[in-house]
Amino acid sequence: MTGWLVALNKAWDTLAKSAPVSRQYRSKLISTEVPLDVLAAMRATDNAPCLMLQTELPPDALFELGGMRLSLMPDTTGIFLVLSLEDSSRRDLFATICADVVSAAALANRNDALDQFLARLNAWRQFLRDRRDGLSRPETVGLIGELIILDQILTSHANGLSTWQAPNDGLHDFVDGGHALEIKTGLGPSSTITISALDQLDASGLSRLDLMHVRLIETPEGKPLRDFISDISARLPNDTGRRAFENALLSRGLMPDDDVARAVPRVQLRAIESYQVQENFPRLIRANLPVAITDATYSLEVRAIAGFATDTAFILEAFVQGDQS
């Protein structure tokens, strides 16, 4: 991606030195090595850097988030997709996003390049919608816990990546055929599990909901996030799956250049404790609360829910096999 970052900044610098013309944008082809004709551009009205590609998208795919805008611009030669910087303080992130989506297209073949470009752009859209910066340490720990479960699912379900719904803002972290898994991850000793939203333990519309408590310890001999990512990438059957995984990680909040989150903390898995969320499981349910309460965060005492404990291997097998008993 670094090479494309340099190429884009060089193109924008060149365009900034050229005199504005009567057209809305002055543009420059980035490279002939990309299977798509992607243009670095400069908006005439305010010299805002842009990325342009001649293609169309449905209106609901367009956005204005995080100081950036994705819009359509009609031209005599057709419709152009324009990603523009609207907040100059976010120039570095904008350049990173542009270089990243160009890199995704450059790594694809000609028949697949547009799909990969748009898929990566959509992952960035999700990122911009949910946050302004990368993962915090607690968020990194939470992601590691989800990846530990995903890795176990993939051992017997080659296409299990699609069950990981957390990157899509799913109500539950994993869902397949009416069976949902809610993952909570703790680092170090803890006697409680934090439930961060009213709907996380709501089993409405599901045939089964399980709460899985991934317990980690921090140690210099442990694995960082990047190793968990590498393990899963190695399990995926093809490049298409690996690219989808990279997009899911971005949607989940992990930026491509976030080396800190990838390196620390280093952890070992201590245990995975699982609980079936049955009718009498202690929890807050929106339907049972006054309408004035719109959301809540609460903690479960682990010892108090021991009676709902279920074998983790059984849960994962049931999830993979679609056994909703």
CA dist 213 and 210 (Å) reads 10
User: Within this chain, do residues 8 and 107 fall inside the same structural domain, yes or no?
Assistant: yes
Write out the two tokens for 120.
Answer: 């990566």
User: Within this chain, do residues 189 and 45 fall inside the same structural domain, yes or no?
Assistant: no
**Domains of the chain: total:** 2
Helix ranges (H only) for the chain are: 2-17, 91-106, 113-130, 137-154, 225-235, 239-251, 259-263, 312-321
- Domain final residue, candidates 92, 109, 130: 130
12-16 average pLDDT score: 94
CA dist 125 and 119 (Å) reads 10
56-62 average pLDDT score: 86
User: Within this chain, do residues 95 and 190 fall inside the same structural domain, yes or no?
Assistant: no
CA dist 9 and 156 (Å) reads 45
User: Within this chain, do residues 200 and 234 fall inside the same structural domain, yes or no?
Assistant: yes
User: Within this chain, do residues 199 and 150 fall inside the same structural domain, yes or no?
Assistant: yes
Which pLDDT tens digit goes with each residue over 176-214? 999 999 999 999 988 999 999 999 999 999 999 999 999
User: Within this chain, do residues 53 and 75 fall inside the same structural domain, yes or no?
Assistant: yes
User: Within this chain, do residues 176 and 243 fall inside the same structural domain, yes or no?
Assistant: yes
User: Within this chain, do residues 188 and 51 fall inside the same structural domain, yes or no?
Assistant: no
- What is the pLDDT, as a whole number, of residue 22? 59
Percent of the chain predicted with pLDDT > 90: 81
Contacts 24+ apart (CB under 8 A), 283-292: 283/195, 283/201, 283/202, 284/195, 284/198, 284/201, 285/198, 285/201, 285/202, 286/198, 286/199, 286/202, 287/204, 289/198
User: Within this chain, do residues 169 and 82 fall inside the same structural domain, yes or no?
Assistant: no
56-74 average pLDDT score: 90
- Domain final residue, candidates 130, 160, 186: 130
Residue 140 clears pLDDT 70, i.e. is over it: yes
pLDDT category of residue 325 using cuts at 50, 70 and 90: very low
User: Within this chain, do residues 155 and 302 fall inside the same structural domain, yes or no?
Assistant: yes
- Domain final residue, candidates 130, 152, 171: 130
User: Within this chain, do residues 114 and 169 fall inside the same structural domain, yes or no?
Assistant: no
User: Within this chain, do residues 176 and 286 fall inside the same structural domain, yes or no?
Assistant: yes
Global pTM value = 0.89
Full residue range of the structural domain in which residue 282 is found: 137-321
Residue 323 clears pLDDT 50, i.e. is over it: no
